[in-house]
Amino acid sequence: MSSATDRFYGIIPAGGVGSRLWPLSRADAPKFLHDLTGSGRTLLRGTWERLVPLAGPERIMVVTGRAHRAAVEAQIPELHDRDIVLEAAPRDSTVAIGLAAAILHRREPDVIVGSFAADHVISDESAFRAAVVEAIEAADAGYIATIGIQPDEPAIGFGYIRCGAKLDIQGAPSALTVQSFVEKPDLPTAQAYLADGGYLWNGGMFIARADRLLEAIGEFDPELRAQLEELAAAWDDPASRGPAVDRLWPVLRKIAIDYAVAEPAAAAGRLAVVPGRFGWDDVGDFASVAKLKSGGRPSDLSIIGEHARVLADASSGIVVSQSERIISLIGVHDIVVVDTPDALLVTTTANAQRVKSVVDALKLSGRDDVL
Amino acid sequence: MSSATDRFYGIIPAGGVGSRLWPLSRADAPKFLHDLTGSGRTLLRGTWERLVPLAGPERIMVVTGRAHRAAVEAQIPELHDRDIVLEAAPRDSTVAIGLAAAILHRREPDVIVGSFAADHVISDESAFRAAVVEAIEAADAGYIATIGIQPDEPAIGFGYIRCGAKLDIQGAPSALTVQSFVEKPDLPTAQAYLADGGYLWNGGMFIARADRLLEAIGEFDPELRAQLEELAAAWDDPASRGPAVDRLWPVLRKIAIDYAVAEPAAAAGRLAVVPGRFGWDDVGDFASVAKLKSGGRPSDLSIIGEHARVLADASSGIVVSQSERIISLIGVHDIVVVDTPDALLVTTTANAQRVKSVVDALKLSGRDDVL
């Protein structure tokens, strides 16, 4: 039997518009297709390049919407056809990851899969790789493994993992059991978590043997598992795939993998968490973007946009420019200005989370043209 | 001899870009060509319509730059060719008003002229007309007359007029002498002026017999008077006007009429002020625009722009939109957003005066394309 890392296959679910990053992120230009850190590469490409040293370019699968196929292929020309799974419609993370796992499991029964969102940012990639390698070992030992990020501030925008006792897994010396997952806390609770030391951020990374993952889905929802297996069985046969998708996709249950797999596994003592000591952000809103871009210096004005022409006086925050218009800021602090061809957003970093409410309002008023 | 009001002729100097209203006001779209109050008419048209009941549409002259001829004629189709004076280049208010007065004086020796900036806003037009009628009578009595606006707050953006004793002029019962003009004060000084009660805002309106006005210019600068008279003598002769303009325009002295005429006249006891109890604003910056548009309610969000599509949540201030883009504001207070095709301004009402510094910076950096 080959080593666990040799059996590892990366899965990148590339879905989610990123409503709190409107009007930059859109249905036709979702968050993962943007370079939100000024690194010169999109978040998707960054995720891909982070996984290549772990899995190799031949063992990474991308799950995305049909509408994004061309954009994804442009970002990752190395991607083989067999490694792109196109969703007929969004069905949340259990379907995205579960279907990829089911397809890979049919091709390679002892595969270990690891799922990493296409739109997160990680710094210190060697620490990331070390954590993934431990998680792979924990997965090989039969656990559903996750990576929890060591918090460096009492963030209220992330969910937390409450860690339990140390596990004793060969090759995964830092793995712990998970007592529970906890939702995004308020600030006092987040401060208490930080002081306690026994809490990690839930980075939404799950590593497991594909067979174990499918079992876990099946324990939660046998029908959903059966549907995913049926899709997977048809997937690699060009004549069968289309009819199977047409029949099954409309009835697939939409549920986050946290609820379907991670929480039940934690409750059953079958979830392992490897603490990761690296910079991580889900870049959930423009306050995150500003913080990542400025390196956390709140007095800075961050500018994103290849052709941005910004003239600022006594101003801080972030400007995202998709035009060559002159953007002039005078005496505005912690400001967020996002200038796109058909929509302009002006808010503050403190209000960044509320951007989603604008998107909701636009939906309700039928202005889907700018969403 | 006809009555004084029958001899009245309005002059509208339509110059000045309005730098503090950038990027709305531009060299090719100056302040007076905008509807800054949402009234449905430009400031220039508003000025014209305010003067028609006083002078009639046949007795109002507009002085403007050559580049604005078409725009002015579009705003005032009633304007006769003989009532539009085109400046070869801006030469400040003494030339603009003095040349118009000299031309009108040649046509009609006993004319009484009154000059009213093209880019101010006045409410309560009947009170305005009553003040002008008194000022015309004071002018007929030989005074240089002005209208001072009764302050209703300690404004620091306007100059003030310090009033003296009551004058005893037939038909101008409220006219007072002027002790002095005072520059824009600081807040404590403005508060003291308001408490004193003897100070009025300098609205920059001057009414005088044309012969008296030209004498006053001649006392201040005999050469300038001679040049203006020479231009006026050539003006109504198509063969002479061009050569006279070419010869004289480049050497005309640039000076504000406040310095050349009003202050010396006040010092000599020949300036009369009629207090005006009407709403007046020179709409100097976007804070003024916001205040005028909201009627002074600071919690309001004012929106200017025929096709504006603004979606605002917990925001106040002003949005000026020249596009049909969605403009979304979230949690920004006293904000100023001015959205034009090639430039975007984001500032606050408190910083509205500083907009001029951006224009200066753009000039210095050679970005005249957006000025």
pLDDT tens sequence across B105-149: 999 999 999 999 999 999 999 999 999 999 999 999 999 999 999
The answer to whether residues B71 and B203 belong to one domain is yes
Please say if the pLDDT value at position B343 is more than 70.
yes
Cβ distance B330 to A351 less than 8 Å, yes or no, reads: yes
Domain termination site, one of A281, A306, A337 = A281
What is the model's pLDDT at position A37? 85
Please say if the pLDDT value at position A1 is more than 70.
no
pLDDT class for B38, splitting at 50, 70, 90?
confident
Domain termination site, one of B281, B308, B333 = B281
The answer to whether residues A251 and A342 belong to one domain is no
The answer to whether residues B210 and B335 belong to one domain is no
What is the model's pLDDT at position A148? 97
Domain termination site, one of A281, A301, A334 = A281
Q: Poorest-confidence range of A222-226, A280-284, B29-33, B366-370?
A: B366-370
- Chains A, B: CB pairs < 8 Å: 110
The answer to whether residues B183 and B267 belong to one domain is yes
**A229-238 per-position pLDDT tens digit:** 999 999 999 9
pLDDT class for B34, splitting at 50, 70, 90?
very high
Q: For residue B108, what is the domain's CATH number?
A: 3.90.550.10
Please say if the pLDDT value at position B202 is more than 90.
yes
The answer to whether residues A157 and A264 belong to one domain is yes
Tell me whether B294 touches chain A (CB under 8 Å). no
3-state secondary structure chain A: CCCCHHHEEEEEEECCCCHHHCCCCECCECHHHCCCCCCCCCHHHHHHHHHHHHHCCCCEEEEEEHHHHHHHHHHCCCCCHHHEEEECCCCHHHHHHHHHHHHHHHHCCCCEEEECCCCCEEECHHHHHHHHHHHHHHHHCCCEEEEEECCCCCCCCCCEEEEEEECCECCECCCEEEEEEECCCCHHHHHHHHHHCCEEEEEEEEEEEHHHHHHHHHHHCHHHHHHHHHHHHHHCCHHHHHHHHHHHHHHCCCCCHHHHHHHHHHHCCCEEEEEECCEEECCCCHHHHHHHHHCCCCCCEEEECCCCEEEEECCCEEEEECCCCEEEEECCCCEEEEECCCEEEEEEHHHHHHHHHHHHHHHHCCCHHHC
The answer to whether residues B301 and B267 belong to one domain is no
Tell me whether A330 touches chain B (CB under 8 Å). yes
Q: How many domains does chain A have?
A: 2
The answer to whether residues A63 and A33 belong to one domain is yes
The answer to whether residues A302 and A272 belong to one domain is no
For B:13-52, CB contacts with A below 8 A are 23
Closest Cβ opposite residue A344 in set B313, B325, B332: B325
Cβ distance B326 to A355 less than 8 Å, yes or no, reads: no
What is the model's pLDDT at position A7? 98
Burial of B221 (0-12, 13-18, 19+ CB in 10 A): middle
Domain residues for B227?
A: 5-281
Cβ distance A330 to B23 less than 8 Å, yes or no, reads: no
Over chain B, what is the mean pLDDT?
94
Q: What is the mean pLDDT of residues B67-88?
A: 96
Query: Which of A20-29, B160-169, B356-365 has the highest average model confidence (pLDDT)?
Result: B160-169
- Comparing C-alpha atoms, which of B262, B93, B84, B63 is closest to residue B182? B262
pLDDT class for B324, splitting at 50, 70, 90?
confident
What is the model's pLDDT at position B17? 81
Please say if the pLDDT value at position B363 is more than 90.
no
The answer to whether residues A247 and A309 belong to one domain is no
Cβ distance A346 to B343 less than 8 Å, yes or no, reads: no
The answer to whether residues A91 and A178 belong to one domain is yes
**A102-125 per-position pLDDT tens digit:** 999 999 999 999 999 999 999 999
The answer to whether residues B178 and B319 belong to one domain is no
Please say if the pLDDT value at position B1 is more than 70.
no
Tell me whether B303 touches chain A (CB under 8 Å). no
What is the model's pLDDT at position B366? 82
Q: What is the mean pLDDT of residues B313-335?
A: 94
Which chain A residues have a beta carbon less than 8 Å from that of B335?
Answer: 332, 346
Cβ distance A357 to B311 less than 8 Å, yes or no, reads: no
What is the model's pLDDT at position B124? 93
Tell me whether A343 touches chain B (CB under 8 Å). yes
The answer to whether residues B213 and B305 belong to one domain is no
CA distance B48 to chain A (A): 34
